[in-house]
Chain A
Amino acid sequence: QSALTQPPSASGSPGQSVAISCTGTSSDIGGYNYVSWYQQYPGRAPKLMIYDVSKRPSGVPDRFSGSKSGNTASLTVSGLQTEDEAYYYCSSYGGSSNLVFGGGTKLTVL
């Protein structure tokens, strides 16, 4: 049940693209296609942005995309907008009906 590893911060200018990585192990990210990404504004509840590695819930802009290679998942935000400035958390199923989150990444839009 070790936390997934995310960079503490990421940044980009409006209109640019930024990728946030999430590294786990073969027991979580590498073993299952149940990676999700959540967006959280300070003082607010998290919001699901990506699930099953690369699927977008209804209402989430297609500027948000997800992928996975081996034990590392990535969230890419294209065409950055000021409202994308928030914290982003990855999660993965970890087997035995357990779930693990990443430590979170603060995305700053410069």
Chain B
Amino acid sequence: EVHLVESGGGLVQPGGSLRLSCAASGFTFSLYWMSWVRQAPGRGLEWVANINTDGSGKYFVDSVKGRFTISRDNAKNSLYLEMNSLRVEDTAVYYCALNNNWRFDPWGQGTLVTVSS
């Protein structure tokens, strides 16, 4: 069974940094693009970032460009999201998802990031 588990969320002050991880199992991780999607409290889904199979291609929504970076370790079946210069508006549940030709399936359970002083 395909399974994704996020970790690393928590409370951070504005301007701070946080690294999210996503552990994958049940599929050949290195063959698939992966993505991060976030959902602010009471709001809709927002695509954040994609990474291609070998990590050479990384794509971001405009609001996080220059602040967030996405990476992967295919040997460890893991996806990461490094978030710097965090803002209050980055507060959200962050989901990782398997990106199979622009359909996201499955999703992890999400990890909450709260940016507040």
Contacts and interface: CB of A to CB of B under 8 A. Distances in A.
Main SS at interface, chain B: strand
Interface in B60-117: 61-62, 95, 101-110
A94 B46 CA distance: 13
A89 interface: yes
A27 B85 CA distance: 31
A36 B45 contact: no
B57 A46 contact: no
A99 B95 contact: no
B27 interface: no
Contacts of B47: 91, 98-101
Contact of A45 (B59, B61, B109): B109
B102 A34 contact: yes
Contacts of B109: 45
A104 B109 CA distance: 19
Interface residues of A, number: 27
Given A34-B102, A51-B105, A89 B44 contact: yes
Contact of A101 (B46, B101, B108): B46
A48 B45 contact: no
Contacts of A99: 35, 47, 50, 102
Contacts of B44: 3, 89, 101-104
Contacts of A47: 105-107
A69 interface: no
A96 B107 contact: no
A46 B103 contact: no
Contacts of B104: 36, 38, 46, 48, 91
A66 to B, nearest CB: 12
13 contacts: A32-B102, A38-B45, A40-B45, A46-B45, A48-B105, A48-B106, A51-B101, A57-B105, A91-B45, A98-B50, A99-B35, A99-B47, A101-B46
Interface of A: 1, 3, 32, 34, 36, 38, 40, 45-48, 51-52, 57, 89, 91-93, 96-104
